[in-house]
Structure 1
């Protein structure tokens, strides 16, 4: 949740959706297929993920589900994108994976989900970063 949400006591919209207390409606798609995968547990953002087995396995489950959903919709996962917006460029402070397949609707949308920008992190890059941190921590404990 953002600081403003906390001050105004507004609940996290994704927590409400996964909890079943509100429904979601599609408003706009960035690509032919744009799916959000939202974990039930409230994890704020990619910045609050830790190199624990729990978070690393959660990301892997999200990746596998994203690949399945892309295939079901006729997209090759290898030619698609999966990633996260990085604070302060995210609009909801509840971790959510963008699964994107097909052509982008505009150049601006393509830029919004472009790997290597400070506002967007590719899922495989995040997984590699967390795995590297986990190995470093394990080495430090030896």
Structure 2
């Protein structure tokens, strides 16, 4: 999608601190971190949000989750981390491209938000 911020990052049109990349996804440091480690994991394919996924996306969603776990370990988060997917305006989603937040490096409180 030509006007999507994350699609532009995937295409290399906007710089990002890339931490992991494979054929299906890209992970990069969040520019407004909410924890000492805050990485975004996005599919290279444009999917607007979790609300736009179907059963056909099951493999992609599993791949994103596995990539997030790998990245967490690579970032030294052996003591634990949180993976968050915000969906829609009330869910706190600010970029209309599915993305997983990997947060860690400090204790996470509950309830969130």
- TM-score per shorter chain, which class? 0.7 to 0.9
What residue ranges of structure 1 are gaps of 5+ in the alignment?
A: 2-9, 113-142
In structure 2, C-alpha distance between the alignment counterparts of 1:13 and 1:90, rounded to whole Å:
13
After superposition, where does 1:33-72 map in structure 2 within 5 Å? 33-52=37-56, 55-72=57-74
Q: Structure 1 residue 73: deviation in Å?
A: 1.6
- TM-score normalised by the chain length of structure 1: 0.60
- TM-score normalised by the chain length of structure 2: 0.74
Please provide the CA RMSD for this pair. 2.5
Question: Which residue, out of 8, 28, 44, partners 2:32?
Answer: 28
What is aligned with 1:85? 86
Structure with greater Cα Rg: 1
In structure 2, C-alpha distance between the alignment counterparts of 1:74 and 1:24, rounded to whole Å:
20
Q: How many residues get paired? A: 98
What residue ranges of structure 2 are gaps of 5+ in the alignment?
A: 18-29
After TM superposition, the runs of 4+ consecutive aligned structure 1 residues lying more than 3 A away are: none
Structure number with the higher helix fraction is 1
In structure 1, C-alpha distance between the alignment counterparts of 2:36 and 2:10, rounded to whole Å:
24
